[in-house]
Amino acid sequence: MSVLSTTQSNARLQLPRAALAGCVRAYILRSTVEAPLLDPAQRLNRFPATPLCSLTFFIEGEAELLEPPMPVARPFVRALMVGPQSRPTVSYNPGPVRLLMAMLPPQALHALSGLDLSAYVDQLHPIGKVLGPEWGAMADAVLAAPDDAQRIRILEQFLEPRWQAVRAADGALAQAGDWLQHLAAQAATGGIGRGVRNMERRIKAWAGQPMRRLRRMQRSEESFFHARDAIANGDVSWADLASQAGYADQAHFCRETREITGHSPAELARVRDDDESYWIYRIWT
């Protein structure tokens, strides 16, 4: 198990049990219940664009999506399936919040649910409504559990037999590691018709977005890791980082990072450690 913590709030990243390594990328747990006096700016949550889907549970508190504006059903829905996000988002917690997010590679959620994820990009929906009553009952049990350990246990006990069943039917899903590489291999060998257009259609249905965009998001994430290490070593050259990550030049690196996060690499490095609203960047990278 891997756990990282922020200094401003109780937020951490936890890895799934080994049997779910290809199904769940990580769990994100966060609570501001212990810090009830956060000012409004500290109650913002800034998330990058991501190819991952999430099962998000608001154990306590609520959130409002500010950027881009999106109507949320009332009363507030406490268990949401969040599709892949093609753009950075900003949400706001009106008061203290405690949440659990299970981050799933998109083809894993597709395999488990049969959803065409191209219809769920930049969307969020109640888990039970979009995934069915069994998933809804699991979500209710997670929300009613007394602590994070029990919440994750309920979620994993629900997911593991279903994941084992789809893995048995599709050997490519059994592989852990580079999910994007495995997605491309699946698309090349699976289904009827192996032409480029058929592969592209399969990838979009399974992952919600075209492979070109998925690769850009993966490269951006890897560049965050390189930047973190360079900053920690006190040796940051944005031009060198751009070259190492495979960008054409530093300007290309900046444009793509801004598209994914809303900021240039230098801006992101400056705010990441000191601004509470960027907590997700601190625990993920």
124-157 pLDDT, tens per residue? Answer: 999 999 999 999 999 999 999 999 999 999 999 9
Quick one: pLDDT at residue 241?
85
| Structure token digits, residue 247 | 């960008």
Residues 64, 35: Cα–Cα separation, whole Å: 19
- pTM comes to 0.83
Average model confidence (pLDDT) for the chain? 84
Domains and CATH numbers, the chain: 10-169 (2.60.120), 172-211 (no CATH), 212-284 (1.10.10.60)
Quick one: pLDDT at residue 17?
96
Quick one: pLDDT at residue 83?
95
| Coil vs helix vs strand at 96 | coil
Q: Which residues are bridge partners to 55 per DSSP?
A: 81, 102
Residues 200, 198: Cα–Cα separation, whole Å: 5
Question: What is the β-pairing status of strands 89-92 and 44-47?
Answer: antiparallel
State the average pLDDT over residues 84-93: 94
Cα–Cα nearest to 82, from 133, 47, 42: 47
Cα–Cα nearest to 148, from 23, 225, 57: 57
Length of the chain (residues): 285
Q: Going by C-beta distance under 8 Å and a sequence separation of 6 or more, which residues neighbour residue 10?
A: 29, 30, 31, 32, 34, 35
